[in-house]
Amino acid sequence: MANGSGVHVSNETHEHADELVGRRRTGHVLVITMQRAGKRNAVDRSLADALDGALNELEDDDELWAGVLTGTADVFSAGSDLTARGDYLTERGGEYGIIRRDRRKPLVAAVEGPALGGGLEIVLACDLVVASSTARFGLPEVRIGVVPTCAGLFRAPRALPLNLARQLILTGRPIDAHRCYEAGFVNVVTDPGAALEGAIALAQEICDNAPLSVQACLRAINQVTADGDDLGWNATGEALAAASRSADAREGVAAFLEKRAPVWSGR
């Protein structure tokens, strides 16, 4: 989940960025790894800038034809770091460095463990998904009185059957990799610990093809599927405004940070 405003260009050192996001080349594939394990790869200002830098490299280097985005061994991403207070927009990628990025090169998500809230919205911003049997996908925002704001409200219904997307959004409860595979959202399910290997293999299979043809095809697909994005962002803004004014939103976030059950008032 996100609630960002404004664009911030960080002055952090490249060394610090490398601590937060690993970059590894294998052939024409760039493997990008979120490494904020102590915070379950929750995205703050620094991680957003590091992701933005890595994805800029993927887009700008003509020797790179595809990318893989992954997390740590136990978690893909828990979404927004609430203590960041929405400060994770980037100049080229929007939220988290990826959500509003205009990409021309395929990006495969490799998911181990939970991809929740903004974590799932990051996966939804990728083109293909390889998940281990440990993966779980969810949009738990309603459980703390807020709403998904990084395109989950319109990308989830595109990527999943409508009623399954409604289930994720309205119950806040995650579903597993096999259910997502059956629904056509996950391309490949692997054994635990093998999602990255499977994602690299899928990316390399893409790289067996003519890169400019692949990029032209991806751009055409994205132009068609993004046709309703303006409507989606407007609807998301309206949902955010309605929820953020409520007493329940304040109570939900406070209860989450205080690690207690929320007491809803319906106001």
Please, where are the H alpha helices in 14-151? 14-20, 45-60, 118-124
Question: Which of 59, 95, 112, 121 is flagged as catalytic?
Answer: 121
Q: 110: which strand partners?
A: 70, 130
Question: Which of 141, 197, 238, 258 is flagged as catalytic?
Answer: 141
Nearest to 242 by CA among 206, 205, 264, 267: 267
How far is 105 from 36, CA to CA, in rounded Å?
25
Active site residue 12: no
Active site residue 121: yes
Burial (Cβ within 10 Å: 0-12, 13-18, ≥19) of residue 260? exposed
| Sheet arrangement for strand 114-116 | 114-116, 136-138, 175-176
Task: Give me the helix-helix angle, 162-171 and 152-159, nearest 10°.
Answer: 140
Asked whether the beta carbons of 96 and 119 are under 8 A apart, the reply is no
Active site residues: 121, 141
